[in-house]
Amino acid sequence: MNIIKRGALVVALILAVASTASAQFRFGVRAGIQTNALHFNESTFDSDNRAGFTGGVMAEFTAPVIGIGVDLGVMYTHRTAQFTDKTPGATTETKTDKRDYIEIPLNLKWRISLPVVDNIIRPYIFTGPSFAILTSKKAFEAAFQNRSCDVAWNVGAGVELFKHVQVGAGYGFGLTKAFEKLGTVGTNGESGIINSRTRCWTITAAYLF
């Protein structure tokens, strides 16, 4: 709950930046690929990076001159996690968990102005939270369950080309548990909950009108 409250405070601060009367508004479409892995709280699970995809719409509010603004998106995101369950008594085999989300990233973005070439290329950096709402089924196998909301913090950078095309890359740190398994944990087979957080790389391209 503390994470949700902190996220809400960050969202409020970001929206305050976008509320300036002179802010420039643009909207567009964005799509890309996302490589993610589950980071478990127990060493009895191994996870591999798997590729997924994301796509949707975005809006950008930017304060003129200083180049600081807000990037808000509504994205459909598909994630695939592949992991091996090595808990005592379990059959050692590779399992695949496919998850679909409606993801809402809200980033504070700073576009850096470059003399002479500013109309051609303009780098930017960004950071902020994202809220992914699960739209696929929670339980994909007995004792395995996906959580209904996955909150992450993103950091990244990119370039804007000819004032319309943006290409960026970011890394997301999972703040909440995305997945859990009920049952035995650890090498001694004690009862408990195994959970994991999502870590992901995302590369996207966007066109703003």
160-203 pLDDT per residue, tens: 999 999 999 999 999 998 887 766 555 555 555 677 888 899 99
Q: Which residues contact 146 (CB under 8 A, 6 or more apart)?
A: 97, 99, 134, 136, 137, 138, 139, 140, 178, 179
How many other C-beta atoms lie within 10 A of the C-beta of residue 56? 18
Q: What CA–CA distance (Å, rounded) separates 151 from 33?
A: 19
70-91 pLDDT per residue, tens: 999 999 999 987 777 666 665 6
Strands 68-85, 50-62: pairing is antiparallel
Q: What CA–CA distance (Å, rounded) separates 57 from 26?
A: 11
Contact 53, 103 (CB under 8 A): no
Domains recognised in the chain with CATH numbers:
2-208 (2.40.160.20)
Query: Across residues 12-26, what is the average pLDDT?
Result: 62
Task: Give the pTM.
Answer: 0.80
